């Protein structure tokens, strides 16, 4: 989107060979490591805005999980602070850093952070690592909930179930979710980037971002199934103990093989923690951001994209 808007873009990558699709879009590649500012310090010169998204997911047992997520944002902020003039910095964190909804109230920026998972705690630590640089670098933090969109592997299983007319709940308890399409996350990042650049240094601004509505897990499963051509989803509710055993087995297997896994004990803690909703009102009021399309339109776009990419088959009946 930045390239399409006529912006000159540099991307920090660990491997040039794995970033060919980015280079093909007209992006200048800089090879380095987010934990080693000396590898990208020169690339920051002349830059207006830095978007920090680097992170380690699905492997909470690795040392890099705590280092990159917990210290990485501070390393980038330190590098930005050493440049004169320093670029503005937008750090993409997570709703997990704030924690689940509190007493039925969606999370907003006035509530204290209360993460309940290892991932949430290291993301909160990453946000805290920024505060020592707020007087030298203009910094904003964006906390998205579940992100979905074509090509995403994390949400693919949910859409494959919906394609079969199924929905699986990790507990008997009903849950509500906030979610956001990747394109809307990007427009929010660009909006925040412009505002941060013009605001200048001072207190760090934090924003939640989400689609135009919260939704129950059952309703989400039904809407995905309907987009895929079914009347509604057949809902399977798992006992909490079954979900725990599945997460434990997946976690132990992934740790033994040292392979990241979408299902692990940390994700189990998040799955059974209740509602994961957030209020994007501040972003809408202060920066006039809005999602470009409705949630239903985004779900349909995602199904179409998965099918075009060969990741989702045409409708398959379970009957």
CATH of the domain at 100: 3.40.50.720
Q: Is residue 161 part of a domain?
A: no
Alpha-carbon 122 to chain mean position:
14
- The proportion of the chain whose per-residue pLDDT surpasses 90, expressed as a percent, equals 73
pLDDT at 318: 45
Q: Is residue 191 part of a domain?
A: yes
Q: Is residue 11 part of a domain?
A: no
Q: Is residue 261 part of a domain?
A: no
Separation CA 140–CA 282 (nearest Å):
13
Q: Is residue 228 part of a domain?
A: no
Q: What is the pTM of this model?
A: 0.90
The torsion angles phi and psi of 272, rounded to 5 degrees, stand at -105, 10
Separation CA 96–CA 270 (nearest Å):
8
Range of the domain at 122: 32-151+178-213+277-294
What pairs with residue 166 in β-bridges? 234
The predicted-structure confidence for 45-102, as pLDDT tens digits, reads as follows 999 999 999 988 777 777 888 899 999 999 999 999 999 999 999 999 999 999 999 8
Question: How many helices and strands (H and E) does the chain possess?
Answer: 10, 12
Q: How many domains does the chain have?
A: 1
- Cβ–Cβ < 8 Å for 148, 293: no
Alpha-carbon 113 to chain mean position:
17
Assign residue 288 a region: left if phi > 0, alpha if psi is -120 to 50, beta otherwise?
left
């Amino acid at each position: 989107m930045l390239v399409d808007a006529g912006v000159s873009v540099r991307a920090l990558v660990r491997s040039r060979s794995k970033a060919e699709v980015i280079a093909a879009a007209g992006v200048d590649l800089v090879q380095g490591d987010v934990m080693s500012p000396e590898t990208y310090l020169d690339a920051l010169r002349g830059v207006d805005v830095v978007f920090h998204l680097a992170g380690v997911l699905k492997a909470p047992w690795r040392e890099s999980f705590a280092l990159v997520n917990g210290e990485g944002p501070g390393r980038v902020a330190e590098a930005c602070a050493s440049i004169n003039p320093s670029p503005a910095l937008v750090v993409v964190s997570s709703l997990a850093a704030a924690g689940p909804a509190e007493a039925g109230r969606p999370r907003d920026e006035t509530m204290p952070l209360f993460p309940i998972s290892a991932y949430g705690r290291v993301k909160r630590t990453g946000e805290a690592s920024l505060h020592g640089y707020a007087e030298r670098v203009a910094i904003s933090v964006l906390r998205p909930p579940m992100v979905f969109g074509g090509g995403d592997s994390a949400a693919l299983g949910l859409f494959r179930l919906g394609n079969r007319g199924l929905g699986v709940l990790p507990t008997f308890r009903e849950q509500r979710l906030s979610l956001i399409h990747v394109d809307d996350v990007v427009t929010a990042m660009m909006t925040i980037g412009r505002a941060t650049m013009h605001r200048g240094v001072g207190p760090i601004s934090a924003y939640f971002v989400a689609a135009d509505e919260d939704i129950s897990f059952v309703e989400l499963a039904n809407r995905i199934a309907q987009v895929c051509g079914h009347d509604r989803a057949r809902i399977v509710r798992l006992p909490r103990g079954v979900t725990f055993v599945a997460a434990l087995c997946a976690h132990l297997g992934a740790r033994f093989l040292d392979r990241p896994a979408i299902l692990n004990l940390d994700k189990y803690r998040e799955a059974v923690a209740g509602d994961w909703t957030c209020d994007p009102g501040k972003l809408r009021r202060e920066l006039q951001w809005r999602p470009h399309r409705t949630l239903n339109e985004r779900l349909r776009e995602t199904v179409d994209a998965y099918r075009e990419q060969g990741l989702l088959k045409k409708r398959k009946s379970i009957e």
